[in-house]
Chain A
């Protein structure tokens, strides 16, 4: 069992500190050429992408084979539509998706007409103590920076602008759990 002692030793519990940075570095090491942005929960990530990146021409499509993820999307779509956002299209999970996430197929795809692409990964429930977490994966640095800016004021790497600043802060506790998931493969 993890004891989370490093968190208490640094006295940093959130705000994109060492553990969150390490989790993202581990993801990026597993996904060469991609930038990875962690988010506090998958629903918050979907909502942020709906606000900042998705459009009729650049829709989000759920291609997940996980029942839990597809159910989350079905339910979340009610909220997205009620709050004036575009819903996520439920796509065919049988589609052979080329994903950069080895052993971790994309759950939601975001594709623009000019070929820019991102994958959204749902880490919810992949560890018994991890309720939810999401990761935005893309080789497009501008898209990734927008998602970082939507997440919080911490962990930004450069400048960007967002339509709606949200809150997707990924805690140091979630980060240590994610690291364990990634180490176990």
Chain B
């Protein structure tokens, strides 16, 4: 019996991959260079830098952004579960700031209070699932305090902000090439730069860290694998097809969950040209443990729903993050992508409706005089 997963798992046809492999088998490094050229076109930026994975990409971008500054990085309390690990791996210290209930990103008022109170090296600003954070407002605040910003734009790959495709903002933006995302290179990460000067400064930082080949102007280790570049080339060429499939899945969920009283589907802003990679729902039912009971119910039927980024990282224990802690209980994501068809989505929605009906019956039946 199939298992429905939240991992997107897009993939080109094997034949498409094979044609490219034959083209590059005698010159593997050319695959990396050509993939980087394709990424520059995709993100509409003058410079990119590929790495073995996005974890390393972000860590090195933080290292660069915080160079010569306090070794501390502002991150949101409720964020991708490995965020604190990325900061620690870079040899830096995370400073947790509360989230906004409005867009699930860093709360700008809380960020202002933090920046006013203590020196930081840089801000790691993550676009949450579905929403885009307010880039202009965040950058204005960062500029006011002269703090550099690195964007983790993994969840927003392919989206646009005020008419510009994400990739050119901040010191650098990071995108993942893992199969669970929308451009599948098997493994890999990419940093994008809004101008050549930013890229040159980044290269200088990496050279100081021993990680740069001055003769090629590229990483000397933690590099993107040539085979992953071949896979990435095949994948980036089918991005629109992948996005359209995700959109059809999202729309099917919108229809299927329209009558749900327990779940509210978080809507994409179509004007941002989103990738529709995530089906994020807000828990509206106030019953205790509704989300965990629903997830268990779905899991028993091999429907792999997941809590949205919960639980918070253990390092947040002593931080003042009331909104993040509340939001950590309020959202979940549903299966989308390769593992599901439109018919499967209908079944998932029916399963959710059955659970809601059962819950309501139990709740009614449990009322005592």
Which residues of A are interface residues toward B (Cβ below 8 A)? Answer: 1, 3-5, 8, 11, 13-15, 40-44, 47, 51, 72, 74-79, 82-85, 128-132, 164-167, 169, 171-174, 177
Query: Which A residues lie within 8 Å of B21 (CB)?
Result: 1, 3-4
| Complexed CA–CA distance, A178 and B188 (Å) | 18
9 nearest A-B pairs in the assembled complex, by CB-CB distance? A78-B210, A83-B91, A167-B55, A75-B210, A8-B14, A13-B186, A43-B221, A171-B186, A165-B85
Asked if B221 and A132 sit within 8 Å, CB to CB, the answer is: yes
Could you mark each residue 25-65 of chain B with 1 if its beta carbon is under 8 Å from any beta carbon of chain A, else 0? 11010000000000000000000000011011000000100
Q: A11-B11, A79-B211, A83-B63 are in contact. Are A174 and B227 (CB under 8 A)?
A: yes
Q: Which residue of B lies closest to A162 (CB)?
A: B85
Determine if B304 is an interface residue (Cβ-Cβ < 8 Å). Answer: no
| Secondary structure dominating the interface of A | loop
**The residue from A15, A40, A177 contacting B52, defined by CB atoms under 8 A apart:** A40
Assembly CA distance A72 to B219 (angstroms): 12
Mark each residue of chain B from 191 to 212: 1 if its CB lies under 8 Å from any CB of chain A, else 0: 0000000000000000011110
Tell me if A72 and B187 are in contact (CB < 8 A). no
A173 to B90 CA separation, bound complex (whole angstroms): 27
Q: A1-B21, A8-B14, A129-B28 are in contact. Are A166 and B85 (CB under 8 A)?
A: yes
Q: Is B179's CB under 8 angstroms from A4's CB?
A: no
Asked if B338 is at the interface of the complex by the 8 Å CB criterion, the answer is: yes
A-B contact list, 12 entries, CB within 8 Å: A3-B21, A11-B11, A13-B184, A13-B186, A43-B221, A43-B222, A47-B89, A82-B63, A82-B91, A85-B91, A132-B225, A177-B227
A13–B9 alpha-carbon span in the complex (Å):
9
Task: Report, as a range, how many residues of chain B touch the other chain.
Answer: 35 or more
A167 to B88 CA separation, bound complex (whole angstroms): 12
Minimal beta-carbon separation of B306 from chain A (angstroms): 13
Residue-wise, chain B 145-179 has the 8 Å CB interface mask toward A (1 for contact) of 00000000000000000000000000000000011
When the two chains form their complex, are residues B187 and A171 in contact, meaning their CB atoms are under 8 A apart?
A: yes
Q: Is B226 an interface residue (CB 8 A)?
A: yes
Please name the residue on chain A nearest to B206 by beta carbon: A79
Given A40-B52, A43-B222, A83-B91: A129 and B25 interface contact (C-beta under 8 Å): yes
A72 to B220, CA, bound (A): 8
Q: Are A132 and B223 in contact (CB under 8 A)?
A: yes
> From residue B225, how far is it (CB to closest CB) to chain A in Å?
5
Q: Is the CB of A171 within 8 A of B91?
A: no
**Contact, CB under 8 Å: A76 / B210:** yes
CB closest chain-A residue, reference B339? A11
What residues on B are CB-neighbors of A42 within 8 Å?
221
Query: Which of B25, B178, B208, B226 is within 8 Å of A14, CB to CB?
Result: B178
Contact of A83 among B56, B90, B208, B222 (CB under 8 A): B90
- Taking the complex as formed, is B17 at the interface, i.e. its CB lies under 8 A from any CB of chain A? yes
Which residue of chain A is the closest to B225 with respect to CB atoms? A131
A interface footprint on B82-101 (CB within 8 Å = 1, 0 otherwise): 10010011110000000000
- Min Cβ gap B196→A in Å is 24
Report yes or no: B89 in contact with A1, Cβ–Cβ below 8 A: no
Establish whether residues B231 and A13, one from each chain, have CB atoms under 8 Å apart when the complex forms. Answer: yes
Per-residue 0/1 for B1-34: is the Cβ within 8 Å of any A Cβ (1 yes, 0 no)?
A: 0000000010101100110011001101000000
Shortest Cβ distance from residue A40 to the other chain B in the assembled complex, whole angstroms: 5
A13 neighbours in B (Cβ, 8 Å): 9, 11, 179, 184, 186-187, 231
B228 and A167: CB pair below 8 A?
no
Query: Min CB distance, B280 to chain A, in Å?
Result: 22
Pairwise interchain contact A130-B82, C-beta atoms closer than 8 A: no
Shortest Cβ distance from A72 into B: residue? B221
Contact among A79, A85, A130 for B210, CB-based, below 8 A: A79
